Structure 1
Amino acid sequence: MVCAAGPPPPKRPPPQPEPVHFEGDRGWAVGAEGTILATGDAGSTWHRQAAATRTTLTCVRAGTGGAARVIGRAGTVLTTKDGGVTWETRDSGTDVSLWGVAFTASGEHGWAVGDDGGTVRATKDGGATWDQHFYSPEKDAIPAR
């Protein structure tokens, strides 16, 4: 018996980045050509901040005390500790486009994920340095309670 092949399965939709994030009333929005917009009044007004890149930025995570981290295409990572007055370029260790970033409540430990079959970059210092994170079920499993 031969089964009809039929059409190929649909491709997964591209990752859905989170280009806007708030911590209290302070928030950022990121986008094409290195665009970073900031608000300090819960979005009533926005102003442009200078980024040291023209690369498309895909995701932002606001932290406490004016800290934020931004990721984007070509492995771009930017961080600020002063509400975006200055943005520092960080070496992510990859040129793969990054689509999502998350941090623990302390803001010290974080992970950025991207293309190329599941790139995961990890930081233990608030985003200043990044290393490859290798997933293993044994190492990354949540302990049973």
Structure 2
Amino acid sequence: MKDIEVSADVHGASLSSPMKNLIGMKQTYEDRLRLILAALLFMAASCATASTALAQNGWTATRRGEEGKDLNTVFFADQKRGWVAGDNGFVSRTDDGGRTWAQQPVGTNEAINDIYFRNKDDGYILAGNRIFNTRNGGAEWREIRRFSAGEFGGAEPELYSLRFSGKKRAWIVGAASRRDVVVDSLLIYTDDGGASWVRQRVPTKEELIHVDFVSDKLGWAVGASGTILHTEDGGQKWIAQTSGTNATLYHIDLRNERVGWAVGERGTILRTTDGGASWSPVVVPVRSTFLSVQFVDEDQGWIVGRGGTILRSEDGGKTWVRQESQTKQNLYALFIDKKNGWAVGGNGSVLQYER
């Protein structure tokens, strides 16, 4: 190898051609290394972005109901057995976690507003002014009670939501209307597993839309004009809680005796950490009407609503991010368990989410 000559000029040392060539080769190698590293970093970032997108876009949409008809409610008794129900008395059941569905006859053409199972066999349906029950997982449904206008001063009853608070005690909320105008609220209960039903008077005439119990004593109901009702004695007495809004509230979900959420029209989300003694609004950049909310633990929760809106929270409902639903259909109901999420809505839409 020839000696490397170094000469000086007024600016300092200058390098001979062999050294320049060696340095040029080194710089070319370093440039290539930088390009490789940059490419690897780009690929890693792309994978992370794709994973994030997949997490945010994990809902897949299919149609399981009748075309042009809404699915209004969904319930799963376990990870495999579930039901969806909606307009024209439509009910469909899956026994394999949603891979296949089979329609079940109920015996009504009324829209089904709610479906609720105590276990894989014992279930209830609310359709118009009627209550249906099954003891064999929906293979057969029988009407167990029909309410008439004569029982409510000539006003037509509509039943919206049903929940059990004990082994034999259940609650139903709804409204009584004349010429499609709500004139009174409805709160009805049974103490004998549905053999008989009794109306309970409450301090509001507003339409009641959803009811939830966390124990045999503690329950809440929500409805029109920001109505929130609460009982601490198993329903013997109901008191009004201050919601701070006049927006219609469509759904309420309590995780325990203190922490819960309520959602409604005009992007309304309310949160309580003291059992409803106070409700605080949660501001989100979405003005859609929210129709259902459910939390699976203290941190993780979902909301669905009109226009295919789906929101998710991972901090107990303090903040929410939007998820891609793959649909613009209204989403009326939501069910989330440890592994899967389900949402149902317009045009027979069924959305599944794998957590």
In the superposition, the TM-score normalised over structure 1's length comes to 0.80
Match of 1:124 among 314, 318, 329: 314
Structure 1 or 2: larger strand share? 2
Match of 2:218 among 19, 23, 26: 26
Contact preservation (8 Å) 2:214, 2:257: no
In the superposition, the TM-score normalised over structure 2's length comes to 0.34
Match of 2:247 among 25, 34, 55: 55
Q: Deviations over 1:8-50 (max 9, x none)?
A: x543265657511111121110000000101112222110011
Contact preservation (8 Å) 1:93, 1:131: no
- TM-fit CA distance, 1:65: 3.9
Report the secondary structure of 1:86's partner residue. coil
Unmatched 5+ stretches in structure 1: 1-8
Structure number with larger C-alpha Rg? 2
Q: Does 1:66 align with 2:258?
A: yes
Unmatched 5+ stretches in structure 2: 1-66, 74-112, 114-159, 162-209, 327-352
How far apart, CA to CA, are the structure 2 residues paired with 1:32 and 1:80?
19
Contact preservation (8 Å) 2:269, 2:282: yes
Aligned length: 129
Give the partner amino acid of 2:232.
G
**Structure 2 matches for 1:1-145, cutoff 5 A?**
10-12=68-70, 16=113, 19-24=210-215, 25-104=217-296, 106-116=297-307, 118-135=308-325, 140-141=353-354
- TM-fit CA distance, 1:77: 0.3
How far apart, CA to CA, are the structure 2 residues paired with 1:31 and 1:69?
14
Compare relative contact order (CA 8 Å, sep 6+) and give the higher one, 1 or 2: 1
RMSD: 2.0
Runs of 4+ in 1 over 4 A off after TM superposition: 13-18
- Residue aligning to 1:3: none
- TM-fit CA distance, 1:57: 0.3
Report the secondary structure of 2:225's partner residue. helix
